[in-house]
Amino acid sequence: MVFSFIFIMVSEPPGYIEPFLFYGIVISLFLYFSRIPLRFILGRCLIVAPFIFMASLFYPLSSIIGSDFQGFGSYTQEYRIALSIFLKGMFAVILLTLLVSTERFHNLLLGLRKLKMPALLGTISALMYRYIFILTDEALKTSRARDSRTPGKLSMNRLKVYGNQSGMIFLRSMDRSQMIYNSMLSRGFNGEFTGLQEMAMNKKEVVFSVLVILILLAVRITGMSIFSFMSN
């Protein structure tokens, strides 16, 4: 449903910002019912916001640079396009943050597999997820070892220690990753993760998802005229 939402939203023609009022309301409802702290979502959004903002500026900037400059006030359509790009990006980030925060990574992979994601991508994602924990585990161990022999804070002239520690974390993670891979091979791993659980949706979930997608589609198809009328 989330991917359909993003797809429908992103397919809005550039410059149409009115439908985003509706999308915003729907996302706010999702946020409310997910009970995820707004601060957490905003924190994630702030990380990517500058990049999306820069990307959204490209179009109006290229129009301004490519034509005779007639004052900033005469580029209303370009500003609308920039805003629509920005909203698409931010809303997509919020939706994806919501998705990964409310669903276990393992279930996400199962869902993506159901959506015919290539097996190789699924395997890479699963391994990456596993190896992140190894990295953090090794980082924690080496940090403890460093702290146990460091009275107070590490002085500025010994910053080299952090470099050594990073190198060591990398080497140790490589070794452990190799061990895990060996353990997988020893149990017949052939490059594809086969899950025990199948991703199954119950009736309620199917009805809810279909309903939301239909409403979004209706807004997407008919909404343009409604919102055009509103904006006129």
Partner 1 sequence: MSAGIRIKNLTFSYEKDKPVLNNISLDINSGEKLGIIGPTGSGKSTLLLHLNGILNSGQGSVEIGGIKIVKKNLPEIRRMVGLVFQNPDDQLFNPTVEEDVAFGPLNFGFSREEVEQRVRDALVSMNLEGFEKLVSHHLSLGERKRVALATVLAISPRVIAFDEPFSSLDPEIVMQLINIINNLDATLVIVSQSFLPLLSCCDRIAVLKKGEIMAAGPKKEIIQNKELMKASGMDLSFYRNIYRDYFM
Among candidate residues 51, 33, 59, 36, the one with its CA nearest the CA of residue 92:
51
144 counts as binding partner 1 under rule CB under 8 A: no
Whose Cβ is closer to partner 1: residue 146's or residue 176's? Answer: 176
CA distance 115 to 4: 12
183 counts as binding partner 1 under rule CB under 8 A: yes
CA distance 94 to 27: 8
Listed ranges 12-20, 67-75, 157-165, 179-187: which one lies at the site for partner 1 (CB under 8 A) = 179-187
The interface mask with partner 1, positions 185-224, x = CB under 8 A, is xxxxxx---xxxx---------------------------
Q: What is the 3-state secondary structure (H, E, C) of 1-47?
A: CHHHHHHHHHCCCCCCCCHHHHHHHHHHHHHHHHCCCHHHHHHHHHH
The interface mask with partner 1, positions 75-104, x = CB under 8 A, is -----------------------------x
CB 18 within 8 A of CB 220: no
180 counts as binding partner 1 under rule CB under 8 A: yes
CB 10 within 8 A of CB 88: yes
What residues make contact with partner 1 under the rule CB under 8 A? Answer: 104-106, 130, 133, 137, 176, 179-180, 182-190, 194-197
